[in-house]
Chain A
Amino acid sequence: MPTPETSPASQPNPDAVIETRGFSKSYGKFLALDSIDLSLPRASVGLLGANGAGKSTLIRSLLGIIKPTGGSARVVGFDTQTQGIKVREHVGYMPEADALPMSTTAADFVGHMAEMSGLPPRQARQRAADILYQVGLGEERYRLIKGFSTGMRQRVKLAQAIVHDPQLVFLDEPTAGMDPKGRDEMLDLVERIYTTMGISVVFSSHILEDIERICDYVVILDGGRLIASQPLGDVNALTGEIALQLESGADRFAAALAEKGISAKRMESETSSYDQLLVRADDERVYDVVRDVAVAQHAVIRGMRSQARSLEDIYLGNVGAAREVNRVD
């Protein structure tokens, strides 16, 4: 294990795998990262944002592949500006773009990458064989990479990123360009990296469901700004509301509920022909009240379910709010 140097002035969080303060990157006048302040735990972190949100720029800046224009960052306890080599010794990186030599075998290349991370040749070869086995390329490891499918190439890229047993691995859009089956297998692999191998993961994607599936922490970027950084634990948690589908008379129903002290608001839906109400449900009593009102008004209830909060809600809520603030500013 490395011995991270800590500066008393900055007081880094010892539990954080990544910490940034005012981390910025601009390309001329274009601000790609706008003063990002982050403190990420050892976890499977989803880095979410639309194309051009700054995900790849953040990863590449944290690795020292491109120079930030402002702020500071510590990755696995090392300062990215002054201890870049130490950072990279303990971190893995899987880029989004094709980055493999075609005329070499997977075993040779992954072994070479292990050596490039400081492993002695013999151990590097052994690790390469083991990791290629772990990513499902045990049998194919002596084949030339140019004969591999897209999914197999992604696995080679993943293998080279973890062959040196890093503490943290950055995966930049690892499912890009893969078919549904390959994507599913890749997500399983990524999930295993954190849960089984114990390597912290920063998983960049613009696909909400991928992040929802394998991550337990999410960082949302939009236009280079940090929009949210929070655990995903409250995703799928109940929101304390009930979605009610009525055949008709939603306004009358809402008014009756309001008389009994329960707030309800009408929801517009493009996909359903029924009237929809979102009913505040602070306790179990609300179900009895809904029943009583339905009986009293002879209302036909077509559906009733508890509302859960999805990552999409978090994303749209945060991004929408941030854009609104920017517009007002």
Chain B
Amino acid sequence: MSTNPVNMPPEAPQRYGEIFDRGYKHYDGPRRGRRGAITSLIGYSMKRAMGIRKSWTAKILPFLLYVSITIPLIIMIGLTAIVPDLQFASYSGYLSGIFFIVGIFVATAGPEMICVDRHERTLPLYFSRAIARFDYVTAKVIAMTLLTMTMTVIPCVLLWLGRQLTADGVWQAMKDNIGDLGRVIFVGVLFAIVLSVLALAVSSFTNRKGVAITIIIISFLVLTAVANAGVELLDDMEWSRYLIALDLSSVFAAVSDHLFHDVNMEIVDRANFSLGAYVAYLIGLTVLGLIVLRWRYAPRDDA
């Protein structure tokens, strides 16, 4: 039994909670302005395209695509470690091998970034924030390019690293092949920028994700088929070598061939353009894509 004297105040109950005033408080903290808004949009777009903070089904495709580019990478590095003279782990071979996977990736991630905002009509909300219209496009292009680079640059850099680590003299091999590292980064970045801008440009014409994905994949397949069939059927025509421009996988193979000299494709041999010509063509495509995006997101009365 407790012995609490009559005149003593009761012991204060043990404190187990507090009541906070949750009235409205003005925000007087830092504001990062336009740059902060763009950075936020880049991060948010990347997360959404990867299915982060979305249902588990949204994560399946990106996961499978990453697995698909990682398995050949592991096999290549593993085989090089076992049989160093096999020269199995060629950069061009790897890039050619993953081109279709990267194609599927940009064909799905691009529409996810662009079409969903149109479909769900969140664009007016974005354009009422502290950004200009082209900032929105810039953020989407950067987000898409960074994501694509995780498929085109990081695995190639890992491949380069794997090749050096399995060589006899690791440091010497790294020193000798530092040029290859620059080249794989160059081709990976080029690859990512061009595909990203094109995917976004095509996606900007519709607010239906499925339609955009279909158009990108079918366009890619049809143009590739037309280019290869044309080169095959019109081999006596001088101009047929320009058909390579329709087949982006062959254009990238040609760029790789110029950089690593290990590509053996008829369409590439027939075309026989200089590295500068290919790079200029890819830059031209990128600029065209950006012009299309700028036009699609110019201020409009129906925004």
Residues of A within 8 A of B (CB): 27, 60, 63-67, 84-85, 88-89, 91-93, 95, 97-105, 108, 112-113, 115-121, 123-124, 127, 130, 133-134, 160, 164-165, 192, 196-198
Are A89 and B299 in contact, with the CB atoms below 8 A?
no
* Interface stretch (choices B32-40, B85-93, B217-225): B32-40
Interface residues on B, range: 35 or more
Are A115 and B128 in contact, with the CB atoms below 8 A?
no
Are A121 and B130 in contact, with the CB atoms below 8 A?
no
* Residue interface bits B43-68, CB-to-A below 8 A is 1, else 0: 01000100001110010000000000
The yes or no answer to B31 lying at the interface (CB within 8 A) is yes
Q: Which residue of B31, B121, B127 contacts A118 across the interface (Cβ within 8 Å)?
A: B31
Main secondary structure of the interface of B (DSSP, over half): loop
Number of A-B residue pairs at CB separation under 8 A: 121
Q: Which residue of B25, B31, B53 contacts A104 across the interface (Cβ within 8 Å)?
A: B53
The yes or no answer to B276 lying at the interface (CB within 8 A) is no
- What residues on A are CB-neighbors of B54 within 8 Å? 103-104
Are A112 and B40 in contact, with the CB atoms below 8 A?
yes
Q: State A124–B130 Cα separation when bound (angstroms).
A: 14
By beta carbon, the residue of chain A nearest B130 is A89
- What residues on A are CB-neighbors of B19 within 8 Å? none
Q: State A27–B303 Cα separation when bound (angstroms).
A: 13
- What residues on A are CB-neighbors of B27 within 8 Å? 119, 123, 127, 164-165
* Residue interface bits B275-303, CB-to-A below 8 A is 1, else 0: 00000000000000000000000011101
Minimal beta-carbon separation of B298 from chain A (angstroms) = 10
Are A118 and B301 in contact, with the CB atoms below 8 A?
no
- What residues on B are CB-neighbors of A124 within 8 Å? 40
Are A116 and B29 in contact, with the CB atoms below 8 A?
no
Minimal beta-carbon separation of B83 from chain A (angstroms) = 48
- Which of A67, A116, A127, A165: most chain B CB closer than 10 A? A116
A65-B124, A93-B124, A130-B25 known; A118 and B116 CB under 8 Å? no
Q: Which residue of A63, A105, A160 contacts B53 across the interface (Cβ within 8 Å)?
A: A105
Question: 7 closest pairs, A vs B, by CB?
Answer: A115-B40, A165-B27, A93-B128, A118-B31, A89-B130, A116-B129, A197-B24
Are A100 and B36 in contact, with the CB atoms below 8 A?
no
The yes or no answer to B125 lying at the interface (CB within 8 A) is yes
Q: Which residue of A65, A105, A120, A192 contacts B128 across the interface (Cβ within 8 Å)?
A: A65
The yes or no answer to B94 lying at the interface (CB within 8 A) is no
Minimal beta-carbon separation of A170 from chain B (angstroms) = 8
- What residues on B are CB-neighbors of A67 within 8 Å? 299
- What residues on B are CB-neighbors of A160 within 8 Å? 125
Q: Which residue of B116, B125, B129 contacts A95 across the interface (Cβ within 8 Å)?
A: B125
Q: State A36–B132 Cα separation when bound (angstroms).
A: 25
Q: State A89–B138 Cα separation when bound (angstroms).
A: 19
Minimal beta-carbon separation of B39 from chain A (angstroms) = 8
Are B44 and A118 in contact, with the CB atoms below 8 A?
no
The yes or no answer to B15 lying at the interface (CB within 8 A) is no
The yes or no answer to B22 lying at the interface (CB within 8 A) is yes
Are A119 and B31 in contact, with the CB atoms below 8 A?
yes
By beta carbon, the residue of chain A nearest B51 is A103
Can you list 12 residue pairs at the A/B interface with Cβ under 8 Å? A65-B127, A85-B33, A99-B124, A101-B116, A101-B120, A104-B54, A112-B44, A115-B36, A115-B40, A116-B37, A118-B33, A120-B29
A85-B132, A99-B120 known; A120 and B299 CB under 8 Å? no
- What residues on B are CB-neighbors of A103 within 8 Å? 54-55, 58
Are A89 and B33 in contact, with the CB atoms below 8 A?
yes
Q: Which residue of B37, B55, B300 contacts A117 across the interface (Cβ within 8 Å)?
A: B37
- What residues on A are CB-neighbors of B13 within 8 Å? none
Are A116 and B120 in contact, with the CB atoms below 8 A?
no
- What residues on A are CB-neighbors of B124 within 8 Å? 60, 65, 93, 95, 97, 99
Are A116 and B24 in contact, with the CB atoms below 8 A?
no
- What residues on A are CB-neighbors of B36 within 8 Å? 115, 118-120
- Which of A65, A97, A102, A119: most chain B CB closer than 10 A? A65
Minimal beta-carbon separation of A71 from chain B (angstroms) = 16
- What residues on A are CB-neighbors of B2 within 8 Å? none
By beta carbon, the residue of chain A nearest B40 is A115
The yes or no answer to B201 lying at the interface (CB within 8 A) is no
Minimal beta-carbon separation of A201 from chain B (angstroms) = 14
The yes or no answer to B23 lying at the interface (CB within 8 A) is yes
Are A118 and B29 in contact, with the CB atoms below 8 A?
no
A84-B132, A103-B55, A119-B31 known; A66 and B303 CB under 8 Å? yes
- What residues on A are CB-neighbors of B30 within 8 Å? 119-120, 123
- What residues on B are CB-neighbors of A64 within 8 Å? 127, 299
Q: State A80–B58 Cα separation when bound (angstroms).
A: 40
- What residues on A are CB-neighbors of B132 within 8 Å? 84-85
Minimal beta-carbon separation of A273 from chain B (angstroms) = 52
* Residue interface bits B180-200, CB-to-A below 8 A is 1, else 0: 000000000000000000000
By beta carbon, the residue of chain B nearest A65 is B127
Known contacts A93-B128, A97-B124, A102-B120; 12 additional CB pairs below 8 A are A60-B303, A89-B31, A101-B120, A104-B48, A113-B125, A116-B37, A116-B131, A118-B36, A118-B130, A119-B36, A120-B32, A121-B40
Are A66 and B299 in contact, with the CB atoms below 8 A?
yes
- What residues on B are CB-neighbors of A91 within 8 Å? 128
- What residues on B are CB-neighbors of A112 within 8 Å? 40, 44
- What residues on B are CB-neighbors of A113 within 8 Å? 125, 129
Are A66 and B125 in contact, with the CB atoms below 8 A?
no
Are A85 and B130 in contact, with the CB atoms below 8 A?
yes
Are B37 and A99 in contact, with the CB atoms below 8 A?
no
Minimal beta-carbon separation of B190 from chain A (angstroms) = 30
- What residues on B are CB-neighbors of A121 within 8 Å? 40
Are B24 and A115 in contact, with the CB atoms below 8 A?
no
Minimal beta-carbon separation of B208 from chain A (angstroms) = 15
